[in-house]
Amino acid sequence: MGDEMVKHDALQIIGMFQVLPRLVVFDLDYTLWPFYCECRSKRDMPSLYPQAKGILYALKEKGIDMAIASRSPTSDIAKTFIDKLSLKPMFVAQEIFSSWTHKTDHFQRIHTRTGIPFNSMLFFDDEDRNIQSVSKMGVTSILVGNGVNLGALRQGLTEFSQNASKSEKNKQRWQKYSQNPNSSEKKDED
């Protein structure tokens, strides 16, 4: 399936959802591309997973911002590969650095740079430990097995919509409570 076909299918999937993330964040190694940067040379010509580029183009066309959060110990190679693949202009933030924090530092920097709340972000990564830690920040996080693909996109947007719906219901409950703080208290009848 070519990039244009994947983009078309991704646009259809995105069109099924009324609530969309303001920012989609991608890991690099084994999420956008099928290798670890530290095992490659800057001279190599990298390639993405088969559906990754079409999905990136679809998100861009829909006006959804994108960012990178990668714990690569060879950020110079990662950045070179992003340039070689002509992807640099697609991302509003690129946080690529080695870290022991399971990407929470990356997301703090992305939030500071973009001003986008964590609960308005969708994240794709191939490591469960990153999914767990970033989810605790309020980011909808999706574990990918064989890179980002249309199935992962659909799952991510579905979970994002469900999380947004839960958040809205909680907000409405809180507004009702704050308007009538005694509503849950038993009134004394003397």
Please say if 125 is a catalytic residue: no
Sort 179 into a burial class: Cβ within 10 Å, 0-12 / 13-18 / 19+: exposed
Please say if 27 is a catalytic residue: yes
Of 29, 65, 125, 126, the catalytic one is 29
Burial annotation 124-141 (CB, 10 A radius, 16+ → b, else e)? bbbbeebbebbeebebbb
Q: Where do we find the tokens 């409950």?
A: 173
Report the distance separating Cα 37 and Cα 31, nearest Å.
Answer: 12
Report the distance separating Cα 155 and Cα 152, nearest Å.
Answer: 5
Report the distance separating Cα 8 and Cα 92, nearest Å.
Answer: 23
Residue 46 makes CB contacts below 8 A (sequence gap 6+) with 33, 35, 40, 81, 84, 85
CB neighbours of residue 107 within 10 Å: 26
Of 3, 9, 27, 190, the catalytic one is 27
Kindly list the catalytic residues.
Answer: 27, 29
